[in-house]
Every structure is written in structure tokens, then in C-alpha cells.
Structure 1
Amino acid sequence: MKLREISEILEAQVITGEDLLEHTVTAGCGSDLMSDVMAYVTESVLLLTGLINLQVIRTAEMMDIKAIVFVRGKLPLDSMVELAREKGIVLMSTKLTMFVSCGRLYNAGLQGKS
């Protein structure tokens, strides 16, 4: 699924990476525990989280996650935005909850890894 499609489904504000929205992800992961993300994630995954700190960007960089959606209307700190820009990571924010966001993406065809 293309990141542009994800932004539309989630009615998300694109914060960084507007030029990268044609990239494709093959699965989604919703978590506020970065240790779970590290145990779960493979390549081409979208991360949905409500956690707002630099560790989210560092984890995404380490796990080669290309896009992060912050749920519940949360917005990343300026330091997170700057680092995401440097690393080529797309950041979005949606007012939807984690549950609703994951459900919408699943219904649209984005799978999780099991």
C-alpha cells in the first residue's frame, strides 16, 4: 500500500516526507513499546504509535521503517521531525485512535506480520 493511500485512509497530516508518499509498505505494526517493534518488524513496515520521543525515530532508523503515523492527534517534537528528515522517514499524524487506525488499514488490505 502506498503511503499516500495510507494518509488518505487515516485522514492524516503529513509532517515530513511529502515527496516520499509514493513509497509502498507491505505491513503495519501498531505499538507504543519499541522493544515489541524491534521483535516484530521486518522490512517495508508502517509503524503506528502514540509514543512521542526520539527513541521512536531511532528505532525506525534501526529497523528500516520508512514511515511512522502518530495516533490520537499527537505531534512529534521538533527534534524528532529534524531527525526524521535527515533519515528520510515519513511522519504523519492522525486524530484517530490506534485501534481505529489499525482497523481502517487492515480493512483496506494492509496486513500485519504474524
Structure 2
Amino acid sequence: MKLADIIRHTEANLVVGSDLDQHDLKKAFSSDLMSDVLTLDTENILLITGLTNPQLIRTAEIADIEVVLLARNKKASAEMIELAREVGVVLLETPYSIYRASGILYKNGLEPVY
């Protein structure tokens, strides 16, 4: 699923990143447990989470996650935004809950990791 489609389906705001056609995400994973995220061995993943701290960006970097969707109207801090730019992680913010965003994206063809 293209980044533009994810933004449209979840009414998300693009906080960090550009070139909406560059990312073609195949699967999504929803979690607030970064230890679970670190166990993933899949490429082209969208991470949906409610966490808003710099460790989230570091975890995404380590797990090779290109795009993070912050749910529940959570806002990225200035530190997160700067770090995401440095490491090349796309940051999105949606007003939707994790459950709703996951369901909408699944319904529109984005497969789960598990």
C-alpha cells in the first residue's frame, strides 16, 4: 500500500518524510511494546503505535521499519521529528485509535505481520 493511501484511509498528517510513492508497504504491525517490534523479521512494514518518545524512532531504525503511524491523536515531539529526519523514518499522525486504523488499513488490503 502506498503512503498516500495510508494517509487518505486514516486521515493522517505527514509529519516527516516526502515522496509519497516511494514507500510501498506490504504489512502492518500494531504495538506499544517495542520489545515485540524488535522481534519482527519482515520488510516493508508500517508500525502503528501510540508511543511518542525518541526510543520509538530508534526501535524503528533497528527493526528497519520505514513508516510509523502515531495513533490516538498523539503528536511527535521535536526530538522525535529531528531523529526521524536523521535516520529516514517517515512519521504520520492520525486521530484514529490503533484498533480503528488497523481495521481500516486491513480492510483496504494491508496485510498483518501475523
Give your verdict on TM over 0.5. yes
1:76 aligns to what?
Answer: 76
Matched, 1:58 2:58: yes
What secondary structure, in the 3-state scheme, does the structure 1 residue paired with 2:32 have? coil
Structure 1 residue 43: Cα displacement: 1.1
C-alpha separation between the residues in 1 aligned to 2:20 and 2:67? 9
1:35 corresponds in structure 2 to 35
The TM-score with structure 1 as length reference comes to 0.95
Q: Name the CA shift for 1:88/1:20 in 2 (closer, same or farther; >3 Å).
A: farther
Q: Aligned-pair RMSD on alpha carbons?
A: 0.9
Q: Looking at secondary structure, tell me which structure has more helix per residue.
A: 1
Partner deviation per Cα, 1:54-81 (whole Å, 9 max, x = no partner): 1100010011110000000001110000
Shift in CA distance, 32/41, structure 1 to aligned 2, threshold 3 Å: farther
Q: Deviations over 1:82-109 (max 9, x none)?
A: 0101111110100000000000000000
Residue identity matched to 1:72: R
In percent, how many aligned pairs have the same letter? Answer: 43
Runs of 4+ residues over 2 Å off in structure 1: none
Pairing of 1:1-114 with structure 2 (within 5 A): 1-17=1-17, 19-22=18-21, 23-114=23-114
Query: Which runs of 5 or more structure 1 residues have no equivalent in the other structure?
Result: none
**Contact in 1 for aligned 2:40/2:63 (Cα 8 Å):** no
Q: Deviation at 1:30?
A: 0.4
Q: Which runs of 5+ in 2 are unaligned?
A: none
- Number of residues of Structure 1 aligned to a counterpart in Structure 2: 113
Report deviation, 1:40.
2.8
| Aligned-residue offset at 1:21 | 1.7
For 2:51, give the aligned amino acid.
Answer: L
CA shift, 1:41, in A, is 4.6
